[in-house]
C-alpha cells in the first residue's frame, strides 16, 4: 500500500488565518508533515511608499501597518524623528503616549483573546472581549476621532491635549473584573486546558533562534521586555511577565497577565495626568522637515513582539531607505517549525496562540 | 564584545560607531560572534541599495543576557552567503531581501517571490527600479 | 394509534368514502404532517438557537424581520431557496446531489417512530428502539457522501472526522439503550414511556436509576449531532465548514434542515428514554377530556425536548471544541466503560426489584 500525502492549501481565504495568510501543508491523515507559509497577499509597499513621501505625509499611513495597535507604529516614526532632531518630550506628553499605547495594547490583547478562543471553537468569549474592547475604541474615537487609525502622535508631541480622563478611569476600573470573568470561563476549562497545555511547545533556544520576541518569548521563560529600557516608560513601575510554560496555555496566560499589568501602568499615567498642568509642547514643524544625514533606528515593545524602524537619511525630504521590523513576520516564519508533527486542529490553535496579524507581516 | 580580539582574527574590518563594517567572510563572522559572545537573536537584516548593483546588508544582532546590540555591515553584489544555519529567523529576512532587492543567498532554499507576484519583473526597493511598468493598469500604453 | 384510526375511518364512512381509501391515506397523511411539522419545528429551533446564543453573548440576536425577529429564519430560508445551486467542476454530480436527500430518510423515519402521545405514533413496531439505534447513525452516510463527492479536501477531512466520531460514539449509546431496555423490559418506545409511570410523576423516570446513562447519552447525542463541543466535522475555524463546504442554496438548506430536525428528534428520544416521554411530571394530567390529553402529552414531550435543546445551546455558548484525538480517546476510554458500569447498575436494580 502506498501512502500518498494530502497537500492542503490553507488560506488565503480561511476563517482562522487572521487575515490572508496562506499555509501550504502536507498532511498524512490529519498529521502535518510540512508547512510552508506564504505571505504577501496584503502587501501595500509601506517601505517603498516611504521613499516617495515626506515624513509628515508618511505619518498617517503607518497606523495601517498594524491596524489593531496603530499607536505603536506612529510612536516609532515620531520617536525616530525626535531622536534625529534631539527633541526632548515633556513629561506630560510621555504620560499621554504611555497611556494610549497601553490602552492600545489592551485592546489588541482583548481581540486576540477573543479570536484565539474562536479558533478553539468557543464563540462566546469573542463577544465578551469585544464588549470591553469597544469601550477602549469608543474612548479613542472621542479623543482622536478615529477608532483604529488614530494618527494622534505627531513629531514632538501629540495632536491635542488629553481629555475625557474619566472614561479611562472607568475602563481601568471595570477591566480587571472583566478579566476575572474571562478567566472563569476560559482558564481552567478542561477542554481549553486539553487543547492548549503542552501544545505548540516553543523552547527558549528555538524561540531565540527564530527571533521571536514579545509575549511569545516571555511565555517561553526569557525575560526580555523592551519596555524596561524605554525612555518613554521611565518612572513607571511595572512588572515583566515571564512564564515558564512554553506552551499555548502559557502564551494565553501571559497575555491575560500582561493586560492586568497594562491596567496598572495606565493607572499610574492617569494619576499623573489628573494633576498635570496644561499641555505645553514644542512641536517640530513638519513642513520642510529634513533629517540630518545618517542612520537612525528606534524600537518599541509592540503587542506582537519587538517592532523597530530603521531610517537612512541622505538629508533630503524623504528617507533614503526605511525599514520596518514587525514581530508577526517572525511568528509566521516560526510556523514552519512549530506545526510539523501536529494534528490539523491543534495546528490552528497553535498558530492562533502566536498572535500574528497579516497586515503586520506583509507591511 | 571585545573589539581588539575581533580585529585580530578578522583583519579586514573597521568599526563605525556600534557598527562593524566587514568586506567578506560574512558567515564566518556571524558564527564567530554567536559562538564566542552572547549574541543570540538576529533581530533583523536591513538591506540598503547603494547603487551600481551593490547592496549593503546590516545584520542586527542582539544579546538578551547583556542587553547589547551589534550591527555587522557588509556590502555585497548580487549574491552572498546565507546565515540560515545559524539563525533560522534569517529565512524570513533573506527571503524578503531577495524579493525586494534581488540579493541571492546561497544556502537558503526557501528563496521565492514573497510580496511581489511570481512573475514580477525587477526588485522594487532598488534605486534603479523603473516604476512605470507597462503591466500596471495606470501605466498602460494602450490606454492613451 | 388504533383509536385515531377508528376515528378516521368513522369520519370517512360518515361521508360515504370507501374504507380502502382510508386504509391507504391513513399512512400517507402522517408523513405529510411530519414533513410540514418538521419545517416549522426547524424554523423555530434555528430562531431559538440564534436568540439564545444572542442572549448568552449579550447581544440581541435576530431582531429586524418581524416582531423580535421571529420571521428571520423564514427570510433566511427564502434567501437560500433563491440562491444558485453550485456544483463544483470535478465533483461527482450524482452523489453530490444525492447526499442531502439521503439525509432525510433517517430524519423522517425517526420522527415517525416517536410516540408523541399515548395514541399518536405513526409507526409503532414492537422493537422501534433498535430501529432508532440504526437510524441515528444513518446521517453519517450522507455526510460521507457529501464529503467524498464534493472533491474538496476540507470536505473530505470533515467526512473522515465525522465517520470516526459516529463509529466511536455509537457503542456507548447502544449500551445505554440496553440498560434502559433492561429497566423497562421493553424495546418499544411507548413501552419504555409507560414503564416510567408512577403516582408521583417525576419519581418514576429512568433518569434517577440511570443518571450515568443519561449523561453519557446526552454527550453521545451531542457527538452524533456534530454539535459543540464535538463539532469537529464542520469545525469552522479549521475546516471552513467541513462536509458542506461546497454546498450552496437549497442543498445547503437541506443539510441545515436535516441537522436541526435530527437534533429535535434526538432530544425527544432522550426525553422518552429518561424523562418519561409524554408522561406528565405531576403523575396525573391537567386535562380530563380524552382528546385534550393527547395534546397535553405532546406538550410535555416537547417541553422536555425543549429543555434538552436549551442545554445543548447553552453548552455551545460555553465550551470550546475538543481535539479529534481527545474526542475518540474520551469515547473509548471514558464513556464506554462507564456505559457498561451503567448497564450493570441497571441490571442489579432490576434484579433487586427496586425499579
Residues in chain A: 363
CB pairs under 8 A between A and B: 67
C59: its cell numbers: 447581544
With CB atoms and an 8 Å threshold, state whether A118 touches C237. Answer: yes
Q: pLDDT band at residue B138, thresholds of 50, 70 and 90? A: low
C351: its cell numbers: 434484579
Per-residue pLDDT, A36? 87
B84: in domain: yes
B43: in domain: yes
List C-alpha distances in Å: A134 to A103, A127, A240, A359: 12, 10, 26, 21
With CB atoms and an 8 Å threshold, state whether B92 touches A332. Answer: yes
B142: in domain: no
With CB atoms and an 8 Å threshold, state whether B48 touches A321. Answer: yes
Averaged pLDDT for residues A186-211: 87
List C-alpha distances in Å: A237 to A71, A261, C125: 21, 10, 76
Is the pLDDT at A167 greater than 60? The verdict is yes
Q: Mean pLDDT for chain A?
A: 87
Q: pLDDT band at residue B142, thresholds of 50, 70 and 90? A: very low
Low-confidence ranges of chain C (pLDDT < 70): 1-4, 235-237, 355
Q: Indicate which CATH number applies to the domain containing B102.
A: 3.30.460.80
What pTM value is reported for the model?
0.87
With CB atoms and an 8 Å threshold, state whether A48 touches B125. Answer: yes
Judge C/A contact: 3 or more CB pairs < 8 A.
yes
Is the pLDDT at A106 greater than 70? The verdict is yes
With CB atoms and an 8 Å threshold, state whether A337 touches B125. Answer: no
| pLDDT tens profile B78-132 | 888 888 888 888 888 888 889 888 888 888 888 888 888 777 777 888 888 877 6
With CB atoms and an 8 Å threshold, state whether A321 touches B49. Answer: yes
B40 touches chain A (CB under 8 A): yes
B136: in domain: no
CB-based contacts of C54, cutoff 8 Å, min separation 6: C60, C61, C62
CB-CB contact of C163 with C327 (8 Å): no
Number of Cβ within a 10 Å radius of residue A37: 27
B6: left (phi over 0), alpha (psi -120 to 50) or beta: alpha
Distance CA C330, CA C141 (A): 23
Distance CA C133, CA A334 (A): 47
The SS3 call for residue A6 is strand
Q: Number of C-alpha atoms within 13 angstroms, CB side, residue A118? A: 19
Per-residue pLDDT, B144? 40
CB-CB contact of C253 with C39 (8 Å): no
CA C60, C65, C71, C77 dihedral sign is negative
Pairing of β A157-158 and β A294-302: unpaired
With CB atoms and an 8 Å threshold, state whether A120 touches C238. Answer: no
CB-CB contact of C145 with C151 (8 Å): no
Residue linked to cell 478615529: A146
Measured CA angle at A87 (ends A237, A150), to 5 deg: 70
Q: Which of B19, B41, B75 to mutate to test the interface with A (most CBs of A within 10 A)?
A: B41
What are the structural domains, with CATH classification, of chain A? 46-362 (1.10.645.10)
Measured CA angle at C151 (ends C148, C157), to 5 deg: 60
Per-residue pLDDT, A2? 67
Measured CA angle at C302 (ends C296, C304), to 5 deg: 105
CB-based contacts of A275, cutoff 8 Å, min separation 6: none
- DSSP class of residue C226 equals T
CB-CB contact of A33 with A5 (8 Å): yes
Give contacts of A306 with chain B, Cβ < 8 Å.
43
Helical (H) or strand (E) element with A361: helix A358-362
Name the least confident of A7-16, A54-63, B72-81: A7-16
Rounded to a whole number of angstroms, the distance between the first and last alpha carbons of chain C is 28
Measured CA angle at C340 (ends C339, C345), to 5 deg: 95
A53 touches chain B (CB under 8 A): no
A15, A123, A195 member nearest C323 (Cβ): A195
Diameter over CA atoms, chain A: 79
Distance CA C343, CA C328 (A): 21
Distance CA C172, CA A132 (A): 43
Name the least confident of A226-230, B63-67, B87-91, B137-141: B137-141
B135: in domain: no
DSSP A268-332: HHHHHHHHPPPP-------TT--PPSEEEEEEEEETTEEEEEEEEE-SSSS-SEEEEE-HHHHHH
C36 touches chain A (CB under 8 A): no
Q: Burial code of C63-100, b = ≥16 C-beta within 10 A, e = fewer? A: eeeeeebebbbeebbeebeeeeeebbeebbeeebeebb
Per-residue pLDDT, B143? 44
- DSSP class of residue A2 equals P
With CB atoms and an 8 Å threshold, state whether C58 touches A192. Answer: no
- DSSP class of residue A65 equals G
| pLDDT tens profile C196-215 | 887 787 878 888 888 888 99
B49, B58, B87 member nearest A211 (Cβ): B87
CB-CB contact of A74 with A151 (8 Å): yes
Q: Number of C-alpha atoms within 13 angstroms, CB side, residue C226? A: 28
A51, A208, A330 member nearest B40 (Cβ): A208
Q: Name which of C146, C82, C109, C92 is nearest C269 in CA terms.
A: C109
Give contacts of A358 with chain B, Cβ < 8 Å.
none
Give contacts of C157 with chain A, Cβ < 8 Å.
8, 30, 344
Domain housing B59: 3-129
Closest-CA distance, A275 to chain C, in angstroms, reads 37
List C-alpha distances in Å: C308 to B5, C54, C269, C304: 76, 18, 10, 6
Per-residue pLDDT, B134? 62
B31: in domain: yes
Q: Which of C53, C229, C238, C328 to mutate to test the interface with A (most CBs of A within 10 A)?
A: C238
Q: Mean pLDDT for chain B?
A: 81
CB-based contacts of B98, cutoff 8 Å, min separation 6: B104, B105, B108, B111, B112, B114
With contact defined as 3+ CB pairs under 8 Å, the chains touching C are A
Per-residue pLDDT, A25? 87
Is the pLDDT at B11 greater than 50? The verdict is yes
Diameter over CA atoms, chain C: 64
A121 touches chain C (CB under 8 A): yes
Residue of C nearest to A352 (CA): C237
Q: Radius of gyration over alpha carbons of chain B, in Å?
A: 18
DSSP C56-77: HTTS--S-SSSGGGTTHHHHHH
A213 touches chain B (CB under 8 A): yes
With CB atoms and an 8 Å threshold, state whether A121 touches C325. Answer: no
Residue of A nearest to C230 (CA): A121
Amino acid at each position: 500500500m502506498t501512502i500518498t500525502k494530502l497537500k492542503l492549501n490553507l488560506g488565503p481565504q480561511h476563517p482562522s488565518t487572521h487575515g490572508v495568510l496562506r499555509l501550504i501543508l502536507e498532511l498524512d491523515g490529519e498529521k502535518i508533515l510540512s508547512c510552508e507559509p506564504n505571505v504577501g497577499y496584503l502587501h501595500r509597499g509601506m517601505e517603498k511608499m516611504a521613499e516617495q513621501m515626506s515624513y509628515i505625509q508618511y505619518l498617517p499611513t503607518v497606523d495601517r501597518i498594524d491596524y489593531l495597535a496603530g499607536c505603536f507604529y506612529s510612536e516609532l516614526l515620531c520617536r525616530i524623528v525626535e531622536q534625529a532632531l534631539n527633541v526632548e518630550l515633556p513629561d506630560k506628553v510621555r504620560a499621554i503616549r504611555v497611556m494610549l499605547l497601553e490602552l492600545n495594547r489592551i485592546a489588541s490583547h482583548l481581540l486576540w483573546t477573543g479570536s484565539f478562543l474562536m479558533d478553539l471553537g468557543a464563540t462566546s468569549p469573542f463577544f465578551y472581549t469585544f464588549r470591553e474592547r469597544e469601550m477602549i475604541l469608543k474612548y479613542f474615537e472621542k479623543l482622536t476621532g478615529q477608532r483604529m487609525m488614530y494618527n494622534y502622535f505627531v513629531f514632538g508631541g501629540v495632536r491635542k491635549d488629553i481629555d475625557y480622563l474619566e472614561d479611562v478611569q472607568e475602563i481601568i476600573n471595570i477591566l480587571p473584573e472583566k478579566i476575572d470573568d474571562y478567566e472563569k470561563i476560559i482558564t481552567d476549562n478542561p477542554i481549553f486546558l486539553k487543547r492548549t497545555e503542552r501544545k505548540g511547545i516553543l523552547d527558549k533556544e528555538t524561540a531565540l533562534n527564530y527571533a521571536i520576541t514579545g509575549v511569545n518569548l516571555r511565555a517561553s521563560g526569557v525575560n526580555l521586555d523592551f519596555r524596561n529600557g524605554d525612555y518613554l516608560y521611565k518612572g513607571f513601575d511595572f512588572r515583566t511577565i515571564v512564564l515558564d510554560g512554553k506552551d499555548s496555555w502559557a502564551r494565553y496566560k501571559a497575555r491575560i497577565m500582561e493586560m492586568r499589568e497594562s491596567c496598572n501602568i495606565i493607572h499610574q499615567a492617569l494619576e499623573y495626568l489628573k494633576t498635570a498642568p496644561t499641555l505645553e509642547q514644542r512641536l517640530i514643524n513638519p513642513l520642510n522637515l529634513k533629517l540630518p544625514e545618517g542612520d537612525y533606528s528606534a524600537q518599541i515593545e509592540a503587542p506582537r513582539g519587538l517592532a523597530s524602524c530603521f531610517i537612512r537619511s541622505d538629508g533630503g525630504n524623504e528617507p533614503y531607505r526605511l525599514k520596518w521590523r514587525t514581530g508577526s513576520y517572525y511568528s509566521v516564519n516560526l510556523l514552519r517549525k512549530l506545526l510539523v508533527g501536529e494534528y490539523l486542529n491543534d495546528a490552528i490553535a497553535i498558530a492562533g496562540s502566536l498572535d500574528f496579524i497579516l497586515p503586520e507581516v506583509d507591511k | 564584545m571585545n573589539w581588539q580580539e575581533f580585529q585580530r582574527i578578522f583583519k579586514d574590518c573597521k568599526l563605525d560607531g556600534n557598527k562593524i563594517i566587514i568586506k567578506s567572510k560574512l558567515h564566518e563572522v556571524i558564527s564567530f560572534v554567536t559562538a564566542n559572545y552572547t549574541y543570540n537573536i538576529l533581530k533583523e537584516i536591513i538591506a540598503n541599495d547603494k547603487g551600481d548593483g551593490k547592496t549593503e546588508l546590516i545584520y542586527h544582532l542582539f544579546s538578551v543576557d547583556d542587553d547589547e546590540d551589534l550591527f555587522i555591515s557588509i556590502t555585497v553584489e548580487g549574491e552572498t552567503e546565507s546565515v540560515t544555519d545559524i539563525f533560522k529567523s534569517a529565512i524570513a529576512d533573506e527571503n524578503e531581501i531577495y524579493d525586494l532587492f534581488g540579493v541571492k543567498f546561497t544556502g537558503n532554499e526557501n528563496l521565492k517571490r514573497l510580496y511581489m507576484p511570481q512573475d514580477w519583473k525587477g526588485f522594487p526597493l532598488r534605486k534603479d527600479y523603473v516604476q512605470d511598468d507597462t503591466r500596471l493598469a495606470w501605466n498602460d500604453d494602450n490606454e492613451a | 394509534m388504533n383509536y385515531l384510526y377508528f376515528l378516521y375511518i368513522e369520519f370517512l364512512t360518515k361521508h360515504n368514502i370507501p374504507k380502502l381509501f382510508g386504509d391507504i391515506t391513513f399512512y400517507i397523511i402522517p408523513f405529510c404532517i411530519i414533513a410540514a411539522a418538521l419545517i416549522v419545528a426547524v424554523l423555530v429551533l434555528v430562531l431559538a438557537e440564534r436568540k439564545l446564543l444572542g442572549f448568552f453573548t449579550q447581544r440581541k440576536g435576530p431582531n429586524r424581520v418581524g416582531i423580535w425577529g421571529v420571521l428571520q429564519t423564514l427570510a433566511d430560508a427564502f434567501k437560500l431557496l433563491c440562491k444558485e445551486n453550485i456544483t463544483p467542476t470535478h465533483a461527482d454530480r450524482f452523489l453530490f446531489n444525492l447526499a442531502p436527500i439521503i439525509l432525510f430518510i433517517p430524519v423522517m423515519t425517526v420522527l415517525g417512530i416517536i410516540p408523541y402521545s399515548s395514541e399518536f405514533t405513526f409507526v409503532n413496531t414492537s422493537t422501534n428502539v433498535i430501529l432508532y439505534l440504526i437510524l441515528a447513525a444513518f446521517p453519517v452516510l450522507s455526510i460521507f457522501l457529501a464529503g467524498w463527492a464534493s472533491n474538496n479536501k476540507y470536505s473530505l477531512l470533515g467526512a473522515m472526522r465525522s465517520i470516526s466520531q459516529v463509529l466511536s460514539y455509537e457503542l456507548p449509546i447502544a449500551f445505554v439503550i440496553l440498560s434502559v431496555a433492561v429497566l423497562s423490559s421493553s424495546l418499544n418506545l411507548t413501552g419504555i414511556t409507560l414503564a416510567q409511570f408512577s403516582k408521583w410523576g417525576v419519581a418514576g423516570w429512568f433518569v434517577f436509576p440511570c443518571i450515568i446513562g443519561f449523561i453519557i447519552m446526552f454527550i453521545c447525542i451531542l457527538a452524533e449531532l456534530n454539535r459543540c463541543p464535538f463539532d469537529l466535522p464542520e469545525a469552522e475555524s479549521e475546516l471552513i465548514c467541513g462536509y458542506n463546504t461546497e454546498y450552496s442554496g437549497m442543498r445547503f438548506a437541506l443539510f441545515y434542515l436535516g441537522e436541526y430536525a435530527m437534533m429535535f428528534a434526538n432530544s425527544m428520544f432522550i426525553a422518552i428514554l429518561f424523562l418519561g416521554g409524554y408522561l406528565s411530571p405531576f403523575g396525573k394530567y391537567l386535562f380530563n377530556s380524552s382528546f385534550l390529553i393527547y395534546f397535553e402529552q405532546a406538550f410535555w414531550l416537547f417541553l422536555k425536548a425543549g429543555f434538552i435543546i436549551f442545554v445543548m445551546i447553552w453548552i455551545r455558548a460555553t465550551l470550546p471544541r475538543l481535539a479529534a484525538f481527545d474526542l475518540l480517546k474520551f469515547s473509548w476510554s471514558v464513556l464506554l466503560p462507564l456505559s457498561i458500569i451503567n448497564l450493570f447498575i441497571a441490571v442489579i436494580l432490576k434484579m433487586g426489584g427496586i425499579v
